[in-house]
Chain A
């Protein structure tokens, strides 16, 4: 699972270099559709025709937007492929977790070790394929980093597991 996390963020961030944040967000939407569809196929979860039509409409909508953005040249195919690859990697995680009947563990017993392991998996790739001197420190960069850690990860995780 750590490799899935590492692939998701590594590929996703690589794709973000050449696609807009909006398109990356839109492109991430089909993950729910594919997970629901495959869960119906392999796990026997109920999929009514209404749900199926909804899933297809969702995929069609996202495809339309992505296709349009590519045709007008605002986003590159290269970046979109990286984004889709990152989605495939994280989707590959959801199915086995559900299949194994894994229980949700308390926040810190699950999130922290997984994050550290994801960082370890990425370490050799980060420092062989990227150059540390390319980092440009700035308040903007620091703010984004703080938001991703505090808001996008910790708070979002807390919200998710306090709501389910």
Chain B
């Protein structure tokens, strides 16, 4: 009896791209909400200035 050589079956790999895209969309959308909260308690130009510096120094 001859045995057929075993063939490696490629395993389906998880593609994280849709998760990345969904998470990016959520972050992008919530940034407008966070921005709105920010400008209700802080002048917009100071808000923007603070955001830049915090981001640049992080």
For chain A, the count of residues having a C-beta within 8 Å of the partner chain is 57
Q: Are A16 and B30 in contact (CB under 8 A)?
A: no
In the complex, which residue of chain A has the Cβ closest to the Cβ of B51? A148
**Would A13 and B28 be within 8 Å (CB), given that A112-B56, A145-B50 are in contact?**
no
Range, interface on chain B: 35 or more
Q: Are B32 and A115 in contact (CB under 8 A)?
A: no
Q: Are A136 and B41 in contact (CB under 8 A)?
A: yes
For chain B residues 3-55, which have a beta carbon within 8 Å of chain A? Answer: 17, 20-21, 23-24, 27-55
**Would A13 and B31 be within 8 Å (CB), given that A112-B56, A160-B24 are in contact?**
no
**Would A141 and B43 be within 8 Å (CB), given that A116-B52, A149-B58, A152-B27 are in contact?**
no
**Would A156 and B45 be within 8 Å (CB), given that A16-B36, A115-B52, A119-B53 are in contact?**
no
A118 interface contact, C-beta 8 A? yes
Q: How far is the CA of A136 from the CA of B54 in the complex (A)?
A: 18
Q: Are B48 and A122 in contact (CB under 8 A)?
A: yes
Residue in A13, A141, A145, A150 whose Cβ sees the most chain B Cβ within 10 Å: A13
Q: How far is the CA of A107 from the CA of B48 in the complex (A)?
A: 21
Contact with B43, one of A22, A135, A138 (Cβ below 8 angstroms):
A135
In the complex, which residue of chain B has the Cβ closest to the Cβ of A150? B58
Q: How far is the CA of A82 from the CA of B51 in the complex (A)?
A: 19
Q: Are B43 and A134 in contact (CB under 8 A)?
A: yes
For chain A residues 12-41, which have a beta carbon within 8 Å of chain B? Answer: 12-14, 16-17, 20-22, 24-25, 28
Give the B-binding residues of A (Cβ under 8 A). 5-6, 9-10, 12-14, 16-17, 20-22, 24-25, 28, 111-119, 122-123, 125-127, 129-132, 134-138, 140-141, 143-145, 147-156, 159-160, 162-163
- 22 A-B contacts, Cβ less than 8 Å apart? A6-B48, A13-B35, A13-B44, A16-B32, A17-B39, A21-B36, A24-B35, A24-B36, A115-B52, A116-B56, A117-B56, A126-B43, A127-B46, A135-B42, A140-B41, A144-B37, A148-B51, A149-B51, A152-B28, A153-B51, A156-B28, A159-B24
